[in-house]
Copies of this chain bind each other. A is one copy, B any other.
């Protein structure tokens, strides 16, 4: 579990560094697929990870999300990522297999109550970020730039 979170955080930071060489116009440009743009995707994965982990930590759903427009510069999204990381990291790094089957019950948008296992939520968060990074890799090629590698090997993540 921890390895895939460490992977996502490393890949995310690689993408933040990658963004520093790309114009703000390109980062903000509306694109086809996903949530529709490079910086908006980074904002989206930062917020989603935090919202789920915060809900798990607090024991209740908390998906109040500020609009992207309130954080629409690279620096602001990076700052948000670092700020949220302060809550996310200790929880992930203290993860044990005993926590897999703990439960979070929340009200879905359709009015139904649903119960998720914490282990299921953690894997959802992992897959969500990797999926969106795959989208960034296509958009990177579209603007003629080499994407961040998705390779998990040789990153020193598994010791």
Chain B residues, CB < 8 A from A31:
138
State which of B133, B138, B142, B152 has its C-beta within 8 Å of the C-beta of A124: B152
Number of interface residues of A (CB under 8 A): 38
CA distance A154 to B4 in the complex (A): 21
Interface SS majority for chain A = helix
State which of B3, B123, B133, B135 has its C-beta within 8 Å of the C-beta of A120: B3
Q: Is A88 positioned at the interface, with any CB of B under 8 Å from its CB?
A: no
Q: Is A111 positioned at the interface, with any CB of B under 8 Å from its CB?
A: no
Let me know if B140 and A123 touch, CB within 8 A.
Answer: no
Let me know if B4 and A138 touch, CB within 8 A.
Answer: no
Let me know if A120 and B33 touch, CB within 8 A.
Answer: no
User: In the complex, how many angstroms separate the beta carbon of A55 from the nearest chain B beta carbon?
Assistant: 13
CA distance A126 to B32 in the complex (A): 25
Chain B residues, CB < 8 A from A133:
131, 134
Q: Is A157 positioned at the interface, with any CB of B under 8 Å from its CB?
A: yes
Residues of A within 8 A of B (CB): 3-4, 7, 31-34, 114, 116-117, 119-121, 123-124, 126-128, 130-135, 137-142, 147, 150-154, 157-158
